[in-house]
Every structure is written in C-alpha cells, then in structure tokens.
Amino acid sequence: MDLPLEDTGLRVDRSTKTLRERTVERLRDAILNFQFKAGERLVERTLCDRLGVSRTVVREALRHLEAEGLVEILPQQGPAVARPDTSQAAQVYEIRALLEAEAARAAAANADEADVARLVDANRAIQAAFAEGTSRDVLKATTEFYELLFTIAGKSVAWQLVQGLNARINYLRAMTISRPNRSADAGAEMVRIIEAIARRDGKAAAKASFEHVETVKRLAVSMLEDVSLLRTGP
Amino acid sequence: MDLPLEDTGLRVDRSTKTLRERTVERLRDAILNFQFKAGERLVERTLCDRLGVSRTVVREALRHLEAEGLVEILPQQGPAVARPDTSQAAQVYEIRALLEAEAARAAAANADEADVARLVDANRAIQAAFAEGTSRDVLKATTEFYELLFTIAGKSVAWQLVQGLNARINYLRAMTISRPNRSADAGAEMVRIIEAIARRDGKAAAKASFEHVETVKRLAVSMLEDVSLLRTGP
DNA sequence: TGCCGTATTACGGTATCCCATAATACCGTT
DNA sequence: AACGGTATTATGGGATACCGTAATACGGCA
C-alpha cells in the first residue's frame, strides 16, 4: 500500500483549471454579486472581450450556468441572467428548512469540541459582517457557517443542493439581510442552533434550524408581496 | 389588464427546440438507459458522427450534462459517463426520503378524488411494468407516479431536485428494481402511501413515503456492500 | 522479454465563416 | 405628422479548420 515516494510535497501540480472552468466561476461570481441586473442579456461577443476568451469558451460556460439555473436562454434571443422566480422562492426556503434541519441534527450527533468552537467562530464572523460589512460580506460569512455545519454533519450532497438553491434566491437573501434588526434576530437564532449542537441535542438543533429558515422564509415572502403591491400601484 | 386578443389558442408556436437542446436530451436518455457503460469515455468526434451534429453542439451538450452530474470531465482526458459515487448514494436516498415525505404530506392536503384516482392508476402502471416489462419500464412508470405526486403536492422545485438526484443513482434504482420480491413489497408500500393520501392523513402519508425510501435505501446499500465484497474477493 | 521512441488520438482552445432572425433605424408616401 | 414598408445591424445557432499538448498505442530494437 505504501509508496516509496510520499505523495506529499512532491506531486506535480495538475490542478491547473481549464479556461472554461475559470470562466464559469468568474461569471457565476459576477451574477451572484449582482454585477449584472436580473434579466440582463449576456451578449456572447461582449463577454468574450470583457473576459478575454474565445466565444467557444464563453458559450460552453453559459451552457453550464444555464444548467445551474443562473442563466436562462430566451428563445429567439439568447442568454440572459435568470430572473428570480418568485413563485418558487417559498418552495426553495421550505426545502432548505428540511435539509438544514437534518444537517443540524446530524451535526449534533457528530460534532466534537473543536467543531463546536469552529461553529462559534463562524457565527462571530457573521455578526462581524453584519456590524461592519456589506450584505455581500454577510452572505459570504453565512455561507461559510453553513458549509461548516454540513461538513460536520457529513452531508456533502445536501450541501451541494443547498448551494444550488441559494443561488436561485440570492437576491432575496441579500434583501432579507439588509432588513433592519435582522442582525440581532438572526444572531439569536444561530446561537440557539449552536447551543443545541453543543448539548448534542439533535432534535433541538433540527428544530432551531428549521425555525430559522421558516423565519427567513416569512420575511422573504412578505417582502415579495410588498414589491408586487408596489408594482400594481398603491 | 385584459387584452382584446385572448392568449389562448392563437399563439405562434415558438417551441422549435434548438439542435443543442435535442442533443442534450438524446444523450441524457442514452446515459440513463445504460447505452453507455459507467466511466466510458465520450469521444466528441465519435458522438458527432453518431448524432449527426457538429462538435460545437456536442461540446455544449456535454457541458450541460456535466453540470447535471451525468458526465464528468476527466483531467487530461476529456468527457466520460459519470461513475456512480457509492459513498454518496446513501445521502441521496436520505434526501429523497425527506423530500418525498413532504410531498406526500402536501399531496394528502391537496388531493381531490380525481387526483387519488390518478395515483391509483399510476401505481397500477408500475405493477404492470413489474409484471411484464423491463426494469426500464418500471423506472419509467415509477417516475411518472412520483411526478404526479409532486405535481399534486405543488412541489415543482423539489421534483426537479429529486429528478436530478435520481439521475445520479439511476443504476442503483435499476438494480433494486430487479431484485426478487421487490414487486410485491414495493406495491404494498405504494398502496400505503396512496391510502393515507386518500384518507387526507398527511402524517401517515409522509411516514409511509419516508419508510418506503428508507427501505429502498437499505436495499441499495446492502447491494453496494455485496458488490464491494465481490471486488475485494470472497 | 523489456524498453524506448514515434505515431496516433483526442481534447482544450482559437479563429472564422455562414445563416436566420429580431430589433432598430430609415425613408418615402400620403 | 403619422404610417407602412424596407434596409441595416446585432446577435445567436451552428459548422469548420486549425493548433498545441497530453495520453496512449504501437512497433522496432536491444
């Protein structure tokens, strides 16, 4: 089993990602950071210039993002930034509630002291971002917290799904975050989750996690209703 | 708000799918129907000949399927049929259990008499496929049953996720189906789900649905263990 | 038999080319 | 000035041809 040559330190770096992969990442990042408006057309030749790659690469990247749901191809028009589907947003939150609750339950079963400490740190980072960062920073810190939670839980597949779901409601997440008082409330909700995990109380962790998402869902739905009221007139 | 011209019936048909879309479907179908072996290399130019389209189209289709998880791009080699990840299979079943249980619960709340009748029909189709069809037929009938369930439940997003998950464990589904006695057991499990829905008993429907997936999961995991035992020798 | 060098294969990527069509600008007529 | 039709442009869908490079197959030589 053991090789005479250790794997560590001597390996040739094969990780040079392809241009296409890096293009996908760049575009995904740009979309998730609102560098394009929702519904904005993504003109291939323009992207070629701005990204410095050929049209082939851009097109393949767009196909990938289309499958992820971040880009939609409008018939007879071409690729555009996917417009958020408000009718599906509530469903997304409901699914997240299920998955995150299960993750919290499993994390409570698996976590050791070091894991709990890491969760506490990650939550502190969220609070710090709330205090002095942009909503993007909060989003990033929150993502890292949940990545940690799902990792501790050993739920890699669920985490992939959650990331895909979050991408679809990214704009809503940013909106709910910049809501007044959201910082304190969210902090308290997170603390309840962490404390339950620290107590190894899976049931309570699942419940706290579920309720946290339900809260955010209600917030998001009410904001959506406000927006649609605005549109149809006062 | 009302247009002088009704939307219905007069619309111009814009649904002519692009070559790329049809190529994606063809390839996806071929993979899910085991026309390629797992891990088999998908040589672009060969596919061009066999599909009768240009490399541009084939490559974009492969990128799309890569994002779906059906195709993996091997470094320094190129595209290949994704090899099933046995370590993730259990997770996939667990997530399905959650989502399908929720769908069953919601379906129990929403279903009217006609819906229940449709579910009964769909289950009959599954049994018919078990009796006189191939495992592919069973897979197809089962998919239709669940599509119906999720539609009644109004859970379109969850259904999308489940379809994506099922694609990743397609081979396992086919294996568990061709297991002896699976027909009768599965039939009984489905009947319990349907009866609970007919009684409008959401809790029981969720429970029956959850347990059904748990059963299949145990079956799949034990089959995976058998296979890996075979590989390491008796 | 074992090894080495070469030929082949195939991908990632680029650059063009063509065609169909949607949107827009333009222009002449009434 | 308003309308109707036409020319232009922008853009995507799709097809080729080509290059450099890495993996692999092969064939000859020791």
Pick left, alpha or beta for residue B154 (phi over 0 → left; psi -120 to 50 → alpha; otherwise beta).
Answer: left
Q: What is the mean pLDDT of residues B75-87?
A: 92
User: Per the structure block, which two tokens stand in for B106?
Assistant: 């919601």
Query: Are A59 and B64 a contacting pair at CB < 8 A?
Result: no
Q: What is the 3-state secondary structure (H, E, C) of chain A?
A: CCCCCCCCCCCCCCCCCCHHHHHHHHHHHHHHCCCCCCCCECCHHHHHHHHCCCHHHHHHHHHHHHHHCCEEEECCCEEEECCCCHHHHHHHHHHHHHHHHHHHHHHHHHCCHHHHHHHHHHHHHHHHHHHHCCHHHHHHHHHHHHHHHHHHHCCHHHHHHHHHHHHHCHHHHHHHHCCCCHHHHHHHHHHHHHHHHHCCCHHHHHHHHHHHHHHHHHHHHHHHHHHHHHHHCC
A184 in contact with B, Cβ within 8 Å: no
Q: What is the DSSP letter of B84?
A: P
Query: Are B155 and A56 a contacting pair at CB < 8 A?
Result: no
CA–CA separation, A78 and A71 (whole Å): 10
CA–CA separation, A61 and A53 (whole Å): 11
Question: Residue B87 CA to chain centroid, in angstroms?
Answer: 19
Give the pLDDT of residue B17. Answer: 87
Q: What is the 3-state secondary structure (H, E, C) of B168-226?
A: HCHHHHHHHHCCCCHHHHHHHHHHHHHHHHHCCCHHHHHHHHHHHHHHHHHHHHHHHHH
CATH 1.10.10.10 fits B19-81, yes or no: yes
Q: Is the pLDDT of residue B89 over 70?
A: yes
Complex prediction ipTM: 0.89
Element (H, E) at B159: helix B156-168
Q: pLDDT tens digits, residue range A172-226?
A: 999 999 888 889 999 999 999 999 999 999 999 999 999 999 999 999 999 988 8
User: Per the structure block, which two tokens stand in for A36?
Assistant: 């394009």
Query: Is the separation of the CB atoms in B79 and B73 below 8 Å?
Result: yes
CA of A50 to C1' of C4 (A): 47
Question: Confidence band (pLDDT; 50, 70, 90) for B181?
Answer: confident
Give the pLDDT of residue B232. Answer: 57
Q: pLDDT tens digits, residue range B146-159?
A: 999 999 999 999 99
Give the pLDDT of residue A9. Answer: 59
Give the pLDDT of residue A5. Answer: 43
Q: Is B79 helix (H, G, I), strand (E, B) or coil?
A: strand
Q: Which residue has the tokens 């975050």?
A: A177
Question: Confidence band (pLDDT; 50, 70, 90) for A2?
Answer: very low
CA of A141 to C1' of D7 (A): 55
Give the pLDDT of residue B230. Answer: 64
Give the pLDDT of residue A1. Answer: 45
B28 in contact with A, Cβ within 8 Å: no
Mean pLDDT lowest among A44-53, B5-14, B169-178, B190-199:
B5-14
Give the pLDDT of residue B9. Answer: 60
Q: B86-232 belongs to which CATH class?
A: mainly alpha
Query: Are B94 and A75 a contacting pair at CB < 8 A?
Result: no
In terms of average pLDDT, the best of A124-133, A151-160, A221-230, B3-12 is: A151-160
Pick among B95, B102, B217 to test the A interface (most A CBs inside 10 A): B95
Statement: the CB of B16 is under 7 Å from strand D: no
Query: Are A75 and B14 a contacting pair at CB < 8 A?
Result: yes
Query: Are B91 and A63 a contacting pair at CB < 8 A?
Result: no
CA–CA separation, B175 and A196 (whole Å): 40
Q: pLDDT tens digits, residue range A133-182?
A: 899 999 999 999 999 999 999 999 999 999 999 999 999 999 999 888 88
Query: Are A161 and B158 a contacting pair at CB < 8 A?
Result: no
CA of A18 to C1' of D23 (A): 17
CA–CA separation, A222 and A11 (whole Å): 53
Query: Is the separation of the CB atoms in A126 and B61 below 8 Å?
Result: no
- Chain D positions under 7 Å from a protein CB? 10-17, 22-24
Q: Is the pLDDT of residue B7 over 50?
A: no
Statement: the CB of B57 is under 7 Å from strand D: yes
Question: Confidence band (pLDDT; 50, 70, 90) for B87?
Answer: confident
Q: Is the pLDDT of residue B27 over 50?
A: yes
Question: Residue A63 CA to chain centroid, in angstroms?
Answer: 20
A63 in contact with B, Cβ within 8 Å: yes
Same fold? A19-81, A86-232? no
CA of B78 to C1' of D22 (A): 11
Q: Domain-by-domain residue ranges, chain B?
A: 19-81, 86-232
Q: pLDDT tens digits, residue range A14-56?
A: 767 899 999 999 999 999 999 999 999 999 999 999 999 999 9
Q: List A73's β-bridge partners, or say none.
A: A79
Contact residues, chain A, for B98 at CB < 8 Å: 98-99, 102
- Chain C positions under 7 Å from a protein CB? 9-16, 21-23
Give the pLDDT of residue A3. Answer: 41
Element (H, E) at B80: strand B78-81
Pick among B63, B70, B92, B213 to test the A interface (most A CBs inside 10 A): B63
Q: Which residue has the tokens 């797992």?
A: B38
What residues have CB less than 8 Å from B19, skipping those under 6 apart? B53, B57
CA–CA separation, A100 and B108 (whole Å): 24
Nearest chain A residue to B98 by CA: give it.
A98
Question: Residue A224 CA to chain centroid, in angstroms?
Answer: 19
Query: Are B63 and A63 a contacting pair at CB < 8 A?
Result: yes
Q: pLDDT tens digits, residue range A62-107?
A: 999 999 999 999 988 999 999 988 889 999 999 999 999 999 999 9
Give the pLDDT of residue B133. Answer: 84
Nucleotide nearest to A16 (CA to C1'): C12
Question: Confidence band (pLDDT; 50, 70, 90) for A232?
Answer: low
Q: Is the pLDDT of residue A109 over 80?
A: yes
